């Protein structure tokens, strides 16, 4: 079946980022260590609840205040949590070619509002996409099936007509179970080859 839509993950595909940098920077704001932030934010499931839209940024701060035993500045905390990204510039020409060829482009990401706001403020990469499916807005996360179904609906075509790109193999496998084809992102050139193999002629060419 002809591919009509390409669905991109955001983190470690459109942008690079470092969790360790986030933990250390947030630790400085909270007067704590990076490992403590990892425990309180990540291992506890707090970040997952944030990314599912179950809690907001204020609730995250309040829980970290409880754990750290001190007041924390909201703006400084969100800045520390978000100043972790760099744009994957070599990918942009390929995205532009896909768009110019008329494929519908969708972003599908497990993420939170501060991260989307940061990326939007610093780069125009998300403006290249026809639709955006963020976990906190739909209340579901990869690799659960629900969020892929939302992405297919946003793509406006059949699942078999969607090609999904993610840096995690488990997320690509989950997409395949929903009928999408896809590839694990390891670099621009391997992605171009995978798209060509899937019949996406717009991926031909070099940058």
Domains along the sequence of the chain with CATH: 5-16+86-203 (3.40.50.1000), 19-82 (1.10.150)
**pLDDT at residue 180 in the model:** 99
**pLDDT at residue 50 in the model:** 99
Q: From residue 161, give the alpha-carbon distance in Å to each of 5, 74, 80.
A: 6, 43, 39
Specify the residue for token string 């470092």.
18
Q: The tokens of 37 are what?
A: 């932030």
8 Å CB contact between 180 and 6:
no
Q: From residue 160, give the alpha-carbon distance in Å to each of 1, 2, 5, 35, 177.
A: 7, 8, 10, 42, 11
Straight-line distance from the first to the last Cα atom of the chain, in angstroms, rounded to the nearest whole number: 27
Burial of 84 (0-12, 13-18, 19+ CB in 10 A): buried
**CA 77 to centroid of chain Cα atoms:** 20
**Beta-carbon-side half-sphere exposure of residue 52 (alpha carbons within 13 Å):** 12
- Round to whole Å and give the CA distance between 147 and 152: 9
8 Å CB contact between 150 and 181:
no
Average pLDDT for the chain? 97
207 band by pLDDT with thresholds 50, 70 and 90? low
8 Å CB contact between 64 and 30:
yes
Specify the residue for token string 């929903």.
178
**What are the tens digits of pLDDT across the range 70-128?**
999 999 999 999 999 999 999 999 999 999 999 999 999 999 999 999 999 999 999 99
8 Å CB contact between 157 and 59:
no
**pLDDT at residue 63 in the model:** 98
**pLDDT at residue 155 in the model:** 99
**pLDDT at residue 203 in the model:** 82
**pLDDT at residue 41 in the model:** 98
* Arithmetic mean of pLDDT, 150-158: 99
- Round to whole Å and give the CA distance between 203 and 193: 8
pTM summary value: 0.96
Q: From residue 200, give the alpha-carbon distance in Å to each of 102, 103, 113, 122, 187.
A: 11, 9, 32, 30, 17
* Arithmetic mean of pLDDT, 11-34: 97
């Amino acid at each position: 079946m002809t591919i009509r839509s390409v669905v991109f993950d955001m983190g470690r595909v459109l942008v690079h980022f470092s969790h360790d940098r986030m933990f250390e920077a947030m630790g400085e704001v909270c007067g704590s260590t990076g490992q403590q932030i990892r425990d309180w934010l990540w291992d506890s499931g707090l970040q997952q609840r944030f990314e599912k839209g179950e809690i907001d940024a204020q609730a995250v701060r309040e829980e970290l205040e409880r754990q750290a035993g001190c007041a924390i500045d909201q703006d400084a905390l969100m800045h520390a949590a978000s100043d972790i990204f760099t744009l994957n510039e070599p990918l942009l020409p390929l995205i532009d070619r896909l768009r110019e060829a008329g494929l519908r482009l969708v972003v599908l990401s497990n993420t939170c509002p501060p991260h989307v706001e940061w990326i939007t403020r610093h780069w125009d990469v998300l403006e290249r996409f026809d639709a955006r499916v963020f976990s906190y807005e739909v209340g579901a996360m990869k690799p659960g099936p629900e969020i892929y179904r939302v992405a297919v609906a946003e793509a406006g075509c059949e699942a078999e007509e969607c090609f999904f790109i993610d840096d995690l193999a488990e997320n690509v496998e989950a997409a395949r179970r929903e009928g999408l084809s896809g590839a694990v992102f390891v670099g621009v050139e391997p992605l171009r080859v995978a798209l060509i193999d899937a019949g996406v002629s717009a991926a031909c060419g070099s940058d």
